[in-house]
Amino acid sequence: MALSSPTPKSANSSAASSNNSSASALRNISFWFAVSALICLLLVDIDISTADPWAELSLMTAGALSPSVWSWPTLLSSLANTFAFALQGVTLAAIAGFTLALGYRFTLVRAFCAFIRSIHELFWALLFMQVAGLSSLTGLLAIAIPYAGTLAKIYGELFEEVDSAPANNLPPSNRRPLSHFFYSVLPLAWRSMATYTSYRFECAIRSSAILGFVGLPTLGFHLETALSDGHYSEAAAFFYALLLLIGTLRLWLHKRLLPIYLVAVFYYLPPQATISWQLLVRFVTEDIVPGPLRGQVLLSSETFNNLSQWFNALWQQQIWPGLVNTVLLGQISLVFTGLLALALLPLNSPLFMGHGRFMDHGRFISHSWKRGIGDSILVLLRTLPEYLLAFIGLLILGPSMLPAILALGIHNGAIIGHLLGRYTEEFNLRADASRGITLYFYEVLPRIYRQFLAFLFYRWEVILRETAILGILGIATLGFYIDSAFETFRFDVALLLILVSAALNISVDQFARYLRQRLQLKTVPESL
């Protein structure tokens, strides 16, 4: 035994800085994230500003318990529209995303995909509305474009991940690279692609419903009207329709029936719009061009001065405050999401919701009614779009960042909690493992922590995109200024702000990728 054994204290402190502890890097990053969120929390307004939040809540509860359909044709047509936009959008996105993924090794293609997915579907909708109006084409493109960027990324990463042995075993030749791809790569990635695409379809239904908040004829349109007018029973009917649509997908959206549904949705809601070409040309060549540049001689010093004044004013009044609020709210929501995910994961874990007995291998019996109920709660929370949750939160709690934090945390926390719970199925615990809270902190938390951070960093970009969008509801993030710019027909300002929010999302995505690599976290998402 070595005589120079370090004293406990120095051994402990040196462990934090040495490479021998896998936990220290993860612990440090978690610590700094938590500290940053606490600081952010001091800087933002999280007051409850309504006089009596309980009164509004009880009215809503009463409404939720007595749903009433004000008009069946309206309900059914908005349900059909929601489904149609989602299915059309994801189909187009899958085709475009697949094509883009074929060239995913090119930096330019990757950058293009990152750009189109960094702009939220609501922003795309607001842009297309200016030229194509509240048309079916607007709804289709608003979903298809950002989803194509996301699917391209996932497909591209899946292609890179597949076992390279089959491709290497083909006779070497570069004459038919696509044929090689279809025979040796695509079949291996197909199953994961299908799983992920069907998950994105569920997301697309949420997106489609939310498009109603900016005027498209989906469930969100009627939800917003009913909620704003305080007709909570009517709102409840639309709300349940949305839950039912998402909740029963598995029962009726079979692979074989897909062609029939596709024909049906394109027949029911053909993507069309009456586009005035004059308007389109004006929009592209004038409306979105920064004001000081319109009809001016470029490269003149006067134009340049005007432009820089225009930009400076925008920066001080809108871009900077919007950026700061988006980042603050995003950071708080991210950490809150993480905490909720860790708190919720036992609901979907056989270790906590099982029969309480170990099997021979130390594995738990994975099916139990307790876990069934627990996971249903998570799936329900996950099904609620964060935009809708935030809207309801604002009605109850009044305008502050609190409803947004709660909405983002609940939705995203439930998603991550669900996945982490499922992850615990794989654990081979010893027969003498502890129980309850001790089991959670000593066995489960350390084992899932790496995966947890990987999931959370994946979600970071999504949370930030949503944070920006919640501005449309009146929280002073970038979306608030973008929405105001659209309302006052200052499309040049709107476009600039949209580009700023895109740049922010891309930077955060890059930073999260860097962190994942540095902490050696798993880089391929399962279903996020």
Closer residue to another protein, CB minimum distance, 31 or 514: 31
In the numeric block, the tokens 């010893």 are attached to 430
DSSP 126-137: HHHHHHH-S-HH
Minimum distance of another protein from residue 428's CB (angstroms): 6
| Distance, CA of 429 to CA of 432 (rounded, Å) | 8
Closer residue to another protein, CB minimum distance, 231 or 450: 450
Minimum distance of another protein from residue 17's CB (angstroms): 11
Residues near another protein, by CB under 8 A: 1-2, 5, 8, 11-12, 14-15, 19-23, 26, 359-360, 362, 428-434, 437-438, 441-443, 446-447, 449-450
CB 329 within 8 A of CB 477: yes
Closer residue to another protein, CB minimum distance, 20 or 169: 20
Closer residue to another protein, CB minimum distance, 243 or 359: 359
Minimum distance of another protein from residue 514's CB (angstroms): 21
Minimum distance of another protein from residue 420's CB (angstroms): 15
Closer residue to another protein, CB minimum distance, 391 or 423: 423
Minimum distance of another protein from residue 433's CB (angstroms): 8
Minimum distance of another protein from residue 441's CB (angstroms): 6
Helices (H), 269-364: 277-282, 301-314, 320-344, 350-353
Closer residue to another protein, CB minimum distance, 175 or 432: 432
Closer residue to another protein, CB minimum distance, 187 or 446: 446
Residue 135, token pair as written in the block: 């048309």
CB 512 within 8 A of CB 461: yes
Q: Is 182 helix (H, G, I), strand (E, B) or coil?
A: helix
Helices (H), 162-257: 165-168, 177-184, 186-211, 219-228, 232-247, 249-252
CA 189 vs. chain centroid, Å, equals: 23
| Distance, CA of 269 to CA of 82 (rounded, Å) | 11
DSSP 18-85: STT-HHHHHHHHHHHHHHHHHHHHHHS-----SS-HHHHHHHHHHHHHS---S-HHHHHHHHHHHHHH
Closer residue to another protein, CB minimum distance, 198 or 366: 366
| Distance, CA of 325 to CA of 478 (rounded, Å) | 8
Minimum distance of another protein from residue 418's CB (angstroms): 23
Minimum distance of another protein from residue 489's CB (angstroms): 55
Closer residue to another protein, CB minimum distance, 168 or 428: 428
| Distance, CA of 420 to CA of 429 (rounded, Å) | 16
CB 419 within 8 A of CB 528: yes
Minimum distance of another protein from residue 410's CB (angstroms): 26
Minimum distance of another protein from residue 438's CB (angstroms): 5
Q: Which residues of 273-312 are buried (b: 16+ CB within 10 A; e: fewer)?
A: beeeeeeeeebeeebbbebbbeeeeeeeeeeeebbeebee
| Distance, CA of 198 to CA of 43 (rounded, Å) | 40
Closer residue to another protein, CB minimum distance, 1 or 51: 1
